[in-house]
Structure 1
Amino acid sequence: MVGENLGEDTNVLILGGEVAPTRKIIEFTGKSGGNYNMMVHPRAARGRRSEKGESVLVRTGDRLFAEVLKTMQQKADVASLNVNINNVKKTSGGDIFIRLKGKGQAQTLKNAIKNKMEEVSVTTRNRGTVFSVIDLDPAVTSEEVKAAVEKQTGLAGLVEIKLIRNTKFGGQMCLLSVPNNKAGKLRELGTIKMGWSACRARERIVPLRCYKCLEYGHSLTSCKGEDRSKQCLNCGGLNHRAQECKAVSKCMACKVDGHRMDTMKCPEYRKLVLEKKD
């Protein structure tokens, strides 16, 4: 609040800020007596918050958190990687959660850690836009898909392949992620040329999921559920990943066999996706 005296009987109050604080000032000045001309200047609009950065999760396994972290810091030369680490935290399961500032750094850090510590499991976490690329022929590799998408969209170094798997139709499909602010290029392109095929690229709606309890609707940092981070997303078993699992799918949301909790066959997952579309 700025007050300016324009004479013996008149003051001008220039008020800025939100409505509630401004109302309190007006009520106070009204009680204090005197003649006032009041001008309210609304607070300048805030710019959009920058997108949250990526993160890297390092599984400690049977080793101590401090031991793995110390070894990792000694072997991985972060200073030479040009990555900006925001903070390092210990998850409730004893793993190492590294939050980064900015985009495009998680994969670089992951590769550096894996090159020096092959025995640990390292995964990246980001809030990029996910696309499914379908109609791939059976011989295509994830490296070839990554190279083709980066070349045809101009997103060099910004494409992350999440998985590639066979389909029941004799071909393959691939899930990949690109930064949110670059997704428009792949969305506009619509297809990726792979050899003789024009493969469709479709944006996927992925609800927010916690990587601790594996449930949807909240993140790891606010999770109060049980730690299921070491369980297979396909069958719920331990000591293997969903990509390697050959067991019957069991949904941890519906508690029934026949589908995973991250597919449209799951009623709970389908409901979340449709709500997000709306």
Structure 2
Amino acid sequence: MIECRYLDEITTVEELGRELKTQCELGEEVLTIRLTRGYQGTQTAMIRLSVSAAKKLLKVGKVRVGCSVCPLRVAARVARSDSKRVLRCYKCMGFGHMSANCKGPDRSEQCRKCGEKGHLAKDCSQAPKCMLCTTEEGNAHSTGGYKCHAYKKAIAGQQ
């Protein structure tokens, strides 16, 4: 997924699609474009397309739409194929969903290092204790860290 930022507020999906196909020489490539409001009257487009077409867009690096020249980049919300990132919920601290869709317990007020309320992980002096892992798996690590069994399961489920 590619992100195109700083589009003006009157840009349409059709206009952006036409300009991308022309300027980046995409031919009849199928693009799925979703526009969302950005800052100070701008829009951001999320563009779903094939890997080969995405490489063309990234090589060009920017697109002119109307009076705006807009940068193109890999969407920050999408993990690159060589990285090991998954969606993370900051309500229950689980993986595979975000807080807007969370049905789990609210752990947002708890320290991500030790699991207790009343302080932040950066101020924590306690031993790490994962809120997600059961005691059989071992929970002597920070919640969601690279040693976390729940994190490893989420990564394995993504592949």
- The TM-score normalised by the length of structure 1 is 0.30
TM-score by length of 2: 0.49
| Higher-Rg member (1/2) | 1
Structure with the higher helix share, 1 or 2: 1
Higher relative contact order (CA 8 A, sep 6+): 2
Answer 1 or 2: which has greater strand percent.
1
